[in-house]
């Protein structure tokens, strides 16, 4: 038999004041079922089921009385310090049958437990804690709940990602989560003047206010703000799947993304860069590493870890790059074009290459981008030159614009789907013009 109990939280204080007294095993001041029903509400409903496990009896032959607490689709069980002869247990009334002393004691204990649970539920609502079976059970047993906080579970997640770098996660992904963690920490301090918050504090308002903070205080663009909110959403989804929170605060949140054109070098710009010679060795090396990426499509993280073992002899008996992309762990095989081969040969005896077992003297992404800005100015390239533009240039100017099938480009880029590569195909006005010229000649 299920005992359905509901709580009108507006009357919680009145219920809290109603004391339960136990004198000589007698249960006093309980009120009638009708009085208890008078404080019911549709807002919160929980169910209590008292039962025994007939197949798991004690050595004495008696059965432990168990309690199952259920709220919606969640439930928790606990063994009560109460025993009963299984012959006297009546599942229909969820108690003991008969007028024996033992039956009265068992039913009295169940009655007391029921009202203790009611008191606990009242306390939970008054303290505005998460209304869930595990919390009710723990409070009944006197177990101190684990206080999970926003930054606490975020840090646990980031620590795990750090351990898994190179095993499904990249260093860039880890750094991205750390950036979001710092934004959340700063937001909590800015908005709430606290070092951290209980996990239950995250609601719809928290998320929308976080977006406002990112855009106004941190001056983030729309896509940067959405990326940080997306990272934070993953943390909240972990909490939700572990039943650490009951409601999904992202239920009515829809991230906005602005479509931005991907920059890449045109053929004249690429040629200008190739032909430019720098007397400063560091600038020359950065330029060559960038050009190498333009002819291989490698992202900076993959370019930096490239070593001689990644060079293989392909099906055509020519040299290829064979590498698993750090970001996606997707396999990427790329035939080496003449420009790329020349750059490898040029730096084979470079001290940084020899000492570190690398293929090229690649600087950190931050330093490389700083030098690329200077190189762009010297080469009269007005685009914001970054290491990732090299990858875009390979996808567009070097391959798709020269009629390399999009399927082949996708494979070389290590994309998980063709849809990712099609983004580059939309950028090529020159190819569209050339294709239409062929049609126009046909219909002269």
Tens digits of pLDDT across the chain (444 residues): 444 444 433 333 333 333 333 222 222 333 333 333 222 333 467 899 999 999 999 999 999 999 999 988 889 999 999 999 999 999 999 999 989 999 999 999 999 999 999 999 888 877 656 678 888 898 899 887 778 999 999 999 999 999 998 787 878 899 999 999 999 999 999 999 999 999 989 999 999 999 999 999 999 999 999 999 999 999 999 999 998 888 899 999 999 988 877 789 999 999 999 999 999 999 999 999 999 999 999 999 899 989 999 999 999 999 999 988 877 667 788 999 999 999 999 999 999 999 999 999 999 999 999 999 999 999 999 988 998 899 999 988 899 888 888 888 888 988 877 777 777 766 566 666 666 676 666 665
Give the residue from 343, 365, 362 showing the smallest Cα distance to 295. 343
Q: Is 167 helix (H, G, I), strand (E, B) or coil?
A: coil
Alpha-carbon separation of residue 252 from 184, 208, 210 (angstroms): 20, 11, 15
- Classify 122 as helix, strand or coil: helix
User: Strands, E, within 24-71: which ranges?
Assistant: 26-28, 45-52, 63-71
Q: 31-35 long-range contacts, Cβ below 8 Å, gap at least 24? A: none
Give the model's pLDDT for residue 337. 94
β-sheet bridge partners, residue 52 = 65
Torsional sign, CA 396, 398, 401, 405: negative
Residues with Cβ within 8 Å of residue 318, at least 6 apart in sequence: 335, 336
d(CA 86, CA 90): 9
* Residue 174: closest CA among 183, 165, 186, 185: 165
Distance CA 21, CA 28 (A): 6
Task: Say how far apart CA 270 and CA 264 lie, in whole Å.
Answer: 9
CA torsion 33→36→42→48, rounded to 10°?
Answer: -70
| Per-residue tokens: 210 | 């976080």
Phi, psi (deg, nearest 5) at residue 91:
-65, -30
- Predicted pLDDT at 156: 97
Reading the block at residue 22, the tokens are 């136990």
The length of the chain is 444
pLDDT at 427 (0 to 100): 59
Q: Which domains does the chain have, with CATH numbers?
A: 2-141 (no CATH), 150-241 (1.10.150), 267-441 (1.10.443.10)
Q: Tokens in use for 80?
A: 């009560």
- Positive/negative CA dihedral, 378, 380, 383, 388: negative
Count Cβ atoms below 10 Å from residue 240 Cβ, excluding itself: 15
Distance CA 103, CA 381 (A): 91
Predicted confidence at residue 124, as pLDDT, reads 80
Is the pTM above the cut of 0.75?
A: no
């Amino acid at each position: 038999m299920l005992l359905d109990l509901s709580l009108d939280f507006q009357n919680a204080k009145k219920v809290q004041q109603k004391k339960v007294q136990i004198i000589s095993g007698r249960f006093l001041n309980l009120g009638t079922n009708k009085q208890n029903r008078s404080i019911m509400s549709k807002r919160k409903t929980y169910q209590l089921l008292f039962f025994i496990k007939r197949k798991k009896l004690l050595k004495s032959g008696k059965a432990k009385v168990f309690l199952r607490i259920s709220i919606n689709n969640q439930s928790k069980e606990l063994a009560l310090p109460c025993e009963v002869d299984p012959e006297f247990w009546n599942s229909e009334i969820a108690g003991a049958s008969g007028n024996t002393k033992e039956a009265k004691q068992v039913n009295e204990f169940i009655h007391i437990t029921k009202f203790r649970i009611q008191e606990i539920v009242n306390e939970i609502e008054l303290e505005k804690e998460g209304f869930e079976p595990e919390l009710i059970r723990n409070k009944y047993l006197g177990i101190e709940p684990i206080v999970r906080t926003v930054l606490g579970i975020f840090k646990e997640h980031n620590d795990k990602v750090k351990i898994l770098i190179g095993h499904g996660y990249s260093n860039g992904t880890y750094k991205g989560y750390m950036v979001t963690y710092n934004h959340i920490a700063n937001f909590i301090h800015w908005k709430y003047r606290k070092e951290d918050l209980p996990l239950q504090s995250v609601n719809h308002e928290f998320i929308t206010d976080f977006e406002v903070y990112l855009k106004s205080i941190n001056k983030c663009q729309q896509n940067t703000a959405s990326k940080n909110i997306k990272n934070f959403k993953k943390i909240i989804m972990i909490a939700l799947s572990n039943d650490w929170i009951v409601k999904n605060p992202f239920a009515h949140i829809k991230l906005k993304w602005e479509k931005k054109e991907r920059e890449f070098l045109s053929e004249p710009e690429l040629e200008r860069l190739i032909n430019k010679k720098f007397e400063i060795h560091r600038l020359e090396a950065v330029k060559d590493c960038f050009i190498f990426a333009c002819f291989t499509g490698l992202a900076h993280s993959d370019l930096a870890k490239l070593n001689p073992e990644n060079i293989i002899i392909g099906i055509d008996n020519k040299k290829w790059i064979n590498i698993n992309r750090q970001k996606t762990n997707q396999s990427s095989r790329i035939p080496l074009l003449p420009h790329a081969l020349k750059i490898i040969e040029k730096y084979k005896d470079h001290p940084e290459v020899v000492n570190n077992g690398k293929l090229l003297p690649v600087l950190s992404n931050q330093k490389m981008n700083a030098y690329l800005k200077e190189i762009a100015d010297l080469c009269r390239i007005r685009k914001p030159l970054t290491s990732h533009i090299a990858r875009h240039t390979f996808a567009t100017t070097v391959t798709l614009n020269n009629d390399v099938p999009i399927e082949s480009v996708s494979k070389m880029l290590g994309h998980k789907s063709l849809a990712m590569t099609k983004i580059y195909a939309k950028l090529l006005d020159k190819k569209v013009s050339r294709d239409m010229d062929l049609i126009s000649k046909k219909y002269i």
